[in-house]
Amino acid sequence: MSAEPLLEAIDLHKRFGATPALDGLSLAIGGGEIVAVLGPSGSGKSTLLLCLAGILLADDGEVHYRGRSLAELSDGVRTRLRRDEFGFVFQFGQLVPELTAVDNVSLPLRLAGLTRRAAIARADDALTRLAVDDVRDKRAGEMSGGQGQRVAVARALASGPRVIFADEPTGSLDSANGEVVMELLVSAARDQGASIILVTHEPQIAAYADREVVVRDGRLAEVAAIT
Ligand SMILES: Nc1ncnc2c1ncn2[C@@H]1O[C@H](COP(=O)(O)OP(=O)(O)O)[C@@H](O)[C@H]1O
Ligand SMILES: [Mg+2]
């Protein structure tokens, strides 16, 4: 890891009413690094991911991205950061079911200002890399779970993000499909030099990461290097 982390959580605290979700959690992620976040249900993994992405603001503590505090950026700058430098994959894909694969992947690129032609070219490239170019013109609502998750990964990667936030990205898939999605996600991220924050409770999925951390009761429980 280079001297300066790409993304860093420093002593994060977050409560939802009386419920503490994060209780002094610190974590640094290097450029191009893949970090698996493990831990029991309710331990604060999703809250950590949302805070690292600047979607939720912590009550206390800071998140630094490329050396800048997210809380000090304007809402507009944070929104642009999420659009241009971050990619997201969730458990159930969150594709628009009425739109085709190519439209689901190209829509955010068009919103980011690319021409229709450029957005479609990039979407086609991402669909090919995720080996779902054969369902390019199929509506998301008519795809299998594995195809939909691969299209969701293509969408997350198509903008060339520096960081991919993946919250249980294989949680809705059987283990064979889960491994295919992970292999494609990891190889595409490595090609692009993107970091991945991978929330999962499946050890065989966490094994794709460079490093595992375990969250328990809103803080890191242990740090293990994977060899
Ligand atoms: N939006 C919310 N409103 C109220 N409580 C929440 C909210 N999000 C998370 N929590 C609570 O915060 C704790 C941590 O949740 P979460 O980060 O989703 O854990 P995990 O992803 O590890 O399952 C849990 O007790 C959960 O019920
Ligand atoms: Mg969660």
Is residue 47 lining ligand 1, measured as CB closer than 6 Å? yes
Q: Tell me: the pLDDT tens digits for 62-78?
A: 999 999 999 999 999 99
Largest CA distance in the chain: 50
- The predicted model scores a pTM of 0.92
Helix (H) or strand (E) holding 88: strand 86-89
Q: Is residue 36 part of a domain?
A: yes
Cβ distance 8 to 28 under 8 Å? yes
Residues 140 and 154 in one domain: yes
Domain span at 151: 89-160
- Bridge partners of 84? none
- Residue owning the nearest CA to atom 14 of ligand 1: 44
- Bridge partners of 215? 220
Residues 77 and 137 in one domain: no
Q: How far is the CA of 122 from the centre of ligand 1 (A)?
A: 35
Q: How far is the CA of 121 from the centre of ligand 2 (A)?
A: 34
Residues 30 and 69 in one domain: yes
Q: Is residue 184 part of a domain?
A: no
What letter does residue 161 receive in the DSSP assignment? -
Q: Is residue 175 part of a domain?
A: no
pLDDT tens per residue across all 227 residues of the chain: 456 899 999 999 999 999 999 999 999 999 999 999 999 999 999 999 999 999 999 999 999 999 999 999 999 999 999 989 999 998 887 899 999 999 999 999 998 899 999 999 999 999 999 999 999 999 999 999 999 999 999 999 999 999 999 999 998 888 888 998 899 899 989 999 999 999 998 889 999 999 999 999 999 996 555 55
Assigned token pair, 211: 């490093």
Count up the domains in the chain and report the number. 2
